[in-house]
Structure 1
Amino acid sequence: METLFRICFFMAMMRFSAAEELKRNLNGVVGGNVTFPDPVLELGFLLGGRGTIALVNDRKLQIVEEIYTNKLNWNRNSGLFTITDLQKNDSGVYKVDSKKARVFYISYNLTVYDGAPTPAVETLTVSSDSCWLLCSVDKATSLLWYKDQEVQNQNSSASSLPITVHKEDRDSSYRCVAANPAENKTLHVNVRTACGFNETESGDNPKQRAYWSVIPAAIALIIGALVVWRVKRRLSEKRQTEDYAEVQINNENPQDGTFATSAESSDHFDSTVYSKLKLPEVTSAEPDLQATPT
């Protein structure tokens, strides 16, 4: 009987030790918040490296360490502790000790990181069928290039990371991600704009489609203008020819000494045009050629 009691006690101690050794990793970012997922609803403690940070008793929070006076919150409904305005020196091991129906606590290893840097992308080289993009940050961190949902290039500690984009992939979704264990920042890239694929692909460029559709219309207008100008010029020449009167000698009546004339007058002539011109009659008198005798 005593042996059985010792075995049960030993197994309980092993369970307690295993539970006490249970640790979870939590990550936070400077200026952010972190919530410990283990609740304390009525009675329990939040412990840190220097001892008790706060306790909950009769559903009331009492903060023991003054440095957490304005940093620690406890939710009466969920029973969760939250540390706000995290700083690097808040990194460490924390323990939530709930005394309700539990004789063990869980340890949390909190690591506070600087915020992930904001990535920027620039276009380095462009060719007719591809371009080279460079994602960069102001301090080394984990960088990743994604095409749709697939990682194309990555580096766990870098300040810049390149990628080659081919024209046939211009409709894919590209993004550069700067990440650390606590945070990541993503920059989506429109490769059509960044690589100028809109300008080089005539079939997909509305400007070029408009350009090629305007050219035939412009040529048709020019040809039409030339035809109209030619027709007007011919009409003008014809009118100028018709404005002149043609005067001809009428050879049909040479005895009466008249000249036949024909005249075609345009409407704008102000002078009178006669149909015939008649020469004056000349009377020939024979002179007295007889000489007076001397």
Structure 2
Amino acid sequence: MSVFSSGVFGVESVKSVSVTEGESVSLNSDLTEIQRDDEITWKFENIMIAKIYGKDNKSRFYEDSADGRFRGRLKLDHQTGSLSITNTRTTDSGVYKVTSKSSGAPLNIFSLTVYANLPVPDIIRNCSSSSPSQQNCSLLCSVVNVSNVTLSWYKGNSLLSSISVSDLSISLSLPLEVEYQEKNTYSCVCVVNNPISNQTQHLNNTELCQPCSDVIVLVSAAAAAGSLLIAAAVGIFCICRKHRKTDKEVQIRDREITYADPTFYKRHKSSATEQDNVVYTGVSRR
């Protein structure tokens, strides 16, 4: 736990307190003893959360106030009136004020910041941005769902690059290019801004920085698949063209068939009585 004071000395000075999520924190009233006729009250962001009576040393906790966030996690010291918060959460961050009824003025004001536990950074090989001909190893150092942190690459004790985020809970990634033959040790360091804590992940060059042979395999496989697709497309085109040509020839033959209208000839009647004969011409077909 870290405690810092700021502002003007006296009852209006604000003490900054920082803890990591899950830890317990004590906010002191600065009293040595509660007077019998006094009452000590605690407020969070001007919302009453706890009170202790000097007459009988009885405590009262307003567990439904402040959206019920402190339910079952507040304790009061019966002698001094100091407040303890157990199992702290990031939502406990804010301003706490302790007041004495007899004086009518704040005894202490605290600005509490509860930082989330830091994840261990993850270092991966970024083959998507590497080519087999390159002599550099492309790496990514990443952390997820973080706020108020700085993500940095160090070479020994020298800072190479860094990126920071304040209040938003986001994911951070920081790239680094390393030569394959380089044997120096790198570390990706994620640091909370105040800083309360840090987590470090060390790079193992021999394991991560190897040529991306899988990239060559993928490229070859993609090229083979592309060739198969082209061959299949050409085959389909030829088959379609052959069918179209056959259909066209049938249509042409159909157009070459000519039908002639039949012609009827009638012989003139002779003087002799005889039956009329009708002669039909044949239908020619080419």
Larger radius of gyration: 1
Q: Say which structure, 1 or 2, has more relative contact order (CA 8 Å, 6+ apart).
A: 2
Q: TM-score range by the shorter chain?
A: 0.3 to 0.5
**TM-score, normalised on structure 1?**
0.46
Between Structure 1 and Structure 2, the one with more helix by share is 1
